[in-house]
Amino acid sequence: MLTFVECERASLPRNMIENSMFEEEPDVVDLTFPPLDPDEVAYEPRSSRLLVRGLGENDMDDEEEDCESSARLLGMSFMNRSSANRSNSSPYTRQSPPRSCSRPSTRNMVVCVLFLVIVASMAMVLYFLPGCTFTKAGCRKTDNNTPLEPVYPLSTNGEMFPWAQYQLPHSIRPLSYDLTLNPDLNSMTFTGRTVINMSVLHNTKRIVLHGTDLNITKATFKDRNVTVLEYKPNEQLAIKFSEELKAGQYCVLTLDYSANLSHTYGGFYNSSYYDKDGNKSVLAATQFEPLSARKAFPCFDEPSFKATFLIKISRKPDYMTLSNMPKAKSTPLTNGLMLDEFEKTSVNMSTYLVAFIVANFIPINRTVSNTLVSVYSVPEKKEHTEYALETASKLLEFYNQFFEIDYPLKKLDLVAIPDFLAGAMENWGLITFRETSLLVGKQSSSLEKQVVAYIIAHELAHQGNLFLTTRFRALDKDALNSSHPLSTEVNTREQVEEMFDVISYQKGASILLMLNASLPGDQQFRKGIIQYLKQFSGLNTDTSDLWNSLTQVSTQHQNVSEMMSSWTSQKGFPLVTVSRKGDQVTLQQEHFLLTSENTTHNSSLWNIPVTYVNDSCSLAPECRQVFTLKTKSATLKLPESVKWLKLNYRNTGFYIVHYEDEGWAALTEALSSNISVLTHEDRASLIHNIFALSRLERVSFRQVLNLLNYMSNETETAPVTEALLQLKNIYRLLDKRQEQELVARMESYILNIFGSLMSKQTWEEEKNVSKQELRSTLLEMACSLNQENCTQKARSLFKHYAEPAGTFRIPGDLQQVVFNVAAQSDEDWMTLLNMYANATYDSEKRKILQGLASSQNAQILKEALKGDIIPTQELPLIISTVSNGFTGYLFAWDFIQQNWFRLIEKFSVGSFAIQTIIKSATSQFSTQTHLDQVQRFFSSLKEHGSQMRSVQEALETIKLNQRWMNRNLPNLQKWL
């Protein structure tokens, strides 16, 4: 699945990013469950492990006076998704965007995306046992003072519930589901019948499955009525029997139930939108990943419980329905409704991939390799679907050839949903998207089109993008003590939600890229993936299955498992330190950890495929040499005539390099003399690495500034965006600390380095995608620093754009720059607000919204953005944008405190949206006062979010900001 995270906008312009980097909700894959012992045998609870793949998806971006009232600025109405309170001009009731880095060709982009096939083969499984050991007698709690006593949870009716683990027992295996759903879009309720065909694996007296907020009205088993027990804390249902079900039996459980359509973004949820004439339409759609299928129907809602599904949905005659499979037939009902029945799924599926939609969407389609490919949208946006159809069709053909496996279904639907929290979701045969992730206007920039292509490619292959800035952002997060291994235990629902983060996606993608780069030959990785897919098609897999497949095709019999286990089983990554003495080069590895509190990772070792080039040959791939570093320290020989050494060629490795002695000085001098001695990827990695080492206090900030001196000659996107991002972070910290003299000096410094390049940027239509990225980054910075030639041009473009004729178009990559400048004028802000209410093109609408949130007028922020026309799904974007400015950053933090419980009602604890909100509001704090405030607030929440990893990350980041500022403020006074 795709979500939007904070990639710090290093590669895509901010207008294309929610947090700044494509961060989608990581795709979840199945992990093999070993068969459990029969229920009677004593066993310890099993914790599942999760290895999620990597994708860079979306990153979200970016007064003290009257904080309490300003907390209402976004307004409580943000929390109210009821469309009944919206005006006719209101937009949709919920929504998000994308991003990227350097510009490869279309084919290279697609091949790059393919690296993440591991995602489609890894596993999500959850649940843990709270403080119990289970025996034949039940769950027993132990302490030092009392003997073992059986402890059973209580059902809602007061009866003992027969199971106390989060993970379901494996005595029963579902074989098939027959689902009938009857949604009522007037009352926003639905009824359903679920018929589950099951096999008994072990003798048992219970059936335990999942169900959340479902009112079970009738249950039958073997044609007899049975009582269903519910244990809400674990979202479980159970049926107890007086006689054992015997292993080998087949049985059928039928459950009738009713429920409300969800008012959040998970489960079977309701939504609405207004067309251009102000007419309201309602719809219902699903989002089941990771734990929400149980909200729509009783089921075994864990990825390893695969089954087939036969789905039937009733609807009004003027509506249509979609599901994973093609429609088999439609039958008129006596109540005037139609019952649509879909074909039975042709393979076993996990519940989180089930999907269905009831709406009045319309499609365009074409047949590709015997598969009907369709793109659905609301009727008035049909003209925006052509690009998605063309892209999906080409990608489907490419994947069929690349994987040597044909797409197995008769149809593939891509659906743009007006109210959708994630970026996209890879439901089998029915992929759902945000409108901004799928719809493209005919006059959209090539940069916008490329972002949509990335998302479609990701969802079709279910893999991810491997671009340069995503790897930098993954390194930044993995350098914190609050990080986690790729393969890690998940013991609660919140921990499952939190696995959808930068580490799971971007780090997962990055180590696959490193693995591919380390394998000999350009086809070995692909061959291993193809073997893996064919061997384990439709099965649950473990991470070792993929590594074994890659090992089997290795021409040099490399042990891939040995290498990869060091990268997946421990958090963090290595710092490789290079020192030279004569012809001896010593490489040393250690854990790169910005904070060392309560850690024992100093002895961590990685199996590192170190690549390097030197001044005699540094650009072409054949210049690259490889040295495997498995131990704490090792040496290699190099001619003494070599002037400098650059490790991690083109940044394909997931590690940071420190050049001791004269190493940094030699590289700095080389770049100052000739910028072309290194690839642009290597130049960008040097910039990222030296800033990271500065935070680690291994280099001085003076060394950082010395390296950046070469930047006045830089023209490539990746180094420029990385340098600007790092400098902007420091600028914002200084701004929030009200160090106005240093802020002014920092502005002068940035303009001194980049001013010439900024002034060379054009404002007309630009076809080259790389140039679009570069100029949008540079001009956004120039205008944010109030450079008159930039702001004047932006205001002029906006004036033409706002003319009644409405024929003037701002180039897509420059719209965010222009809207941000316009929002600083009260008059133009109101014009933007009117434009937002009437805009129909989703990408442009979102840029307008981000511009509105960038205003630095406190009164406007407090009075205008009350949420009456702002989709709830955009709240994380609003908060991150408001937090970037000095006027709004304290307001955003206050708003979160005032509205926390409403926030976690809409965006569940641990979700990507909540992670983004916490990070956005706290990442620019650098004082002890703010540290105490944040710690005090989250500590008070207890089970409502205090234990989230994102909270620990926020506290750690504030401490690091505080440490950096205390150390560098005096030096900045001198150096700048």
Which whole-number Å values give the CA distances from 561 to 28, 332, 464, 515, 633, in the listed order?
21, 56, 22, 11, 22
Tokens for 540? 């649950």
**Signed CA dihedral, 854, 859, 862, 868: sign only:** negative
Beta strands 371-377 and 411-417 are: parallel
Whether residue 462 is annotated as binding a ligand: the answer is yes
Report the alpha-carbon angle 936-59-80, nearest 5: 65
Query: Which candidate, 892, 818, 893, places its Cα nearest to that of 851?
Result: 818
CA distance 714 to 686: 13
Tokens for 597? 């509190």
CA distance 814 to 809: 10
Which helix (H) or strand (E) segment holds residue 830: the answer is helix 826-838
Tell whether omega for the bond before 290 is within 30 degrees of 0, i.e. cis: yes
Which whole-number Å values give the CA distances from 528 to 118, 515, 626, 708, in the listed order?
11, 12, 21, 41
Count how many Cα atoms sit within 13 Å of the Cα of residue 374 in the half-sphere of its side chain. Answer: 20
Q: Is 459 a catalytic residue?
A: yes
Task: Walk across the sheet containing 320-323 and list its strands.
Answer: 267-274, 280-287, 356-359, 320-323
Residue 860 one-letter amino acid: I
CA distance 959 to 953: 10
Angle between helices 826-838 and 815-822 (to 10 degrees): 130
CA distance 134 to 187: 44
3-state SS track over 145-207 = CCCCEECCCECCCCCECCCCCCCCCCCEEEEEEEEEEEEECCCCEEEEEEEEEEEECCCEEEE
- 278-316: buried (b, 16+ CB within 10 Å) or exposed (e) per residue? eeebbbbbbbbbbbbbbbbbbbbbbbbbbbbbbbbbbbe
Q: Determine which one of 230, 459, 780, 844 is catalytic.
A: 459
CA distance 647 to 585: 12
Residue 74 carries which DSSP code?
S
Using alpha carbons only, how large is the chain's radius of gyration in Å? Answer: 28
Beta strands 48-51 and 224-225 are: unpaired
CA distance 376 to 392: 13
Residue found under tokens 């897919």 = 533
Largest CA-CA distance found in the chain, in angstroms, rounded? 90
Tokens for 673? 């003399």
Is-contact 323 342, C-beta < 8 A? yes
Please provide the size of the chain in residues: 976
CA distance 554 to 291: 38
Is-contact 23 59, C-beta < 8 A? yes
Task: Give the residue ranges of the annotated binding site for Zn(2+).
Answer: 458, 462
Catalytic residue set: 459
As annotated, the binding site includes: 458, 462
